[in-house]
Amino acid sequence: MKSEEVVYVVSDSVGETAEFVVKAVAAQFNGGNIDIRRYAFAEDIEDIEEIINIASHNHSIIAYTLAIPELKKYMDQRATEEGIMAVDIMQPLIEVFMKKFNKQPNRQPKLLRQLDDEYFRRVEAIEFAVKYDDGRDPRGVVRADIVLIGVSRTSKTPLSMYLAHQGYKVANVPLVPEVSPPEELFQIPRNKCVGLIINPDKLNEIRKERLKALGLRSEANYASLERILEELEYAEKIMKRVGCPVINVANKAVEETAGLVIDILKKRG
């Protein structure tokens, strides 16, 4: 194979799908001698004509994904006229789908990008939840879609992660009597914040199990009923000051609590 064979990847969207396929094929030919050049967002005949002119000078291959029939037809026609090898990467599978499901494709560009945007939105939300977990940075309180507050072991972190997988940016703030909550908590709209409470006996049981898992004595102050009552009383005062809705998470699965949080957000607009 000659050095620096050029393959132009042409797409009416970003072109990641076509480029990935070309790289996979190139790998079967040791890949190193192929220069892949992406031409994204080809949306009209002028764009197609430009890439045809470029590719015709060095007898390149064109690998394309074009959803709009007119552009595909023009690409095929001009490539034939110029003696350029042009391959519609999706067409063989589209034809199989058409036969199998007896349906016509949407022929709309950027549909995959719409799906990708949803995916990346969730990834961003997960990264947000990790960054602003456990009150690490008060700026997260202002930037979040949802702020969860409550004492330790009220499922703030797993709930944050579950909601993040639904695309919500969530920050959570632990309420501890010895530590004042961030002022940002009292500045955000009430409908962004949800308080999490739990029955004292249930929390006592959960904390004892947590201590055992850590190899610590279950009689520690962290799990004492007196300490738990103190924390819950303090948390109740903070939640009243914030004016946020409150959910009792005792005996609730994370999914159930998440549904309640989302319902609260939707009802409050």
pLDDT value for 57: 87
User: Which residue in this structure is represented by tokens 């034809």?
Assistant: 95
CATH architecture for residues 5-109: 3-Layer(aba) Sandwich (3.40)
Spatial neighbors of 51 by CB under 8 A, at least 6 apart, are 8, 10, 39, 42, 62
Convert the pLDDT of each residue in 144-200 to its tens digit.
Answer: 999 999 999 999 999 999 999 999 999 999 999 999 999 999 999 988 999 999 999
Give the tokens for residue 152. Answer: 């330790």
Between vectors from CA 92 to CA 87 and to CA 97, what angle results, nearest 5°?
150
pLDDT value for 40: 82
Exposure string of 13-33, with b = 16+ CB inside 10 Å and e = fewer, is bebbbbbebbeeebeeeeeee
Q: Please, are residues 48 and 74 in contact by the beta-carbon 8 Å criterion?
A: yes
Give dist(CA 269, CA 266) in Å, integer: 5
Return the axis-axis angle of helices 254-267 and 156-165, rounded to nearest 10°.
70
**What φ, ψ does residue 251 adopt, rounded to 5°?**
60, 25
pLDDT value for 116: 60
Stretch(es) of the chain classified as CATH 3.40.50.2300? 5-109
DSSP lists the bridge partners of residue 65 as 11
Convert the pLDDT of each residue in 106-149 to its tens digit.
Answer: 666 555 555 566 777 888 899 899 999 999 899 999 999 999 99
Neighbours of 238 (CB within 10 A): 20
Convert the pLDDT of each residue in 67-112 to its tens digit.
Answer: 888 999 999 999 999 999 999 998 888 888 888 888 876 666 555 5
pLDDT value for 3: 54
- Compute the Cα dihedral for 188, 194, 199, 205 and give only its sign: negative
Residue 66 class from Cβ within 10 Å (0-12 exposed, 13-18 middle, 19+ buried)?
buried
Give the tokens for residue 60. Answer: 């390149």
Spatial neighbors of 129 by CB under 8 A, at least 6 apart, are 160, 161, 163, 164, 169, 170, 171
Topology of the domain comprising 119-267? Rossmann fold (3.40.50)
How would residue 1 be classed by pLDDT, with cut points 50, 70 and 90? very low
pLDDT value for 201: 95
- Compute the Cα dihedral for 46, 50, 55, 61 and give only its sign: negative
Q: Alpha helix (H) ranges present in 153-244?
A: 156-165, 200-213, 225-242
Convert the pLDDT of each residue in 20-76 to its tens digit.
Answer: 888 888 888 765 678 889 888 888 899 999 999 999 988 899 999 888 889 999 999
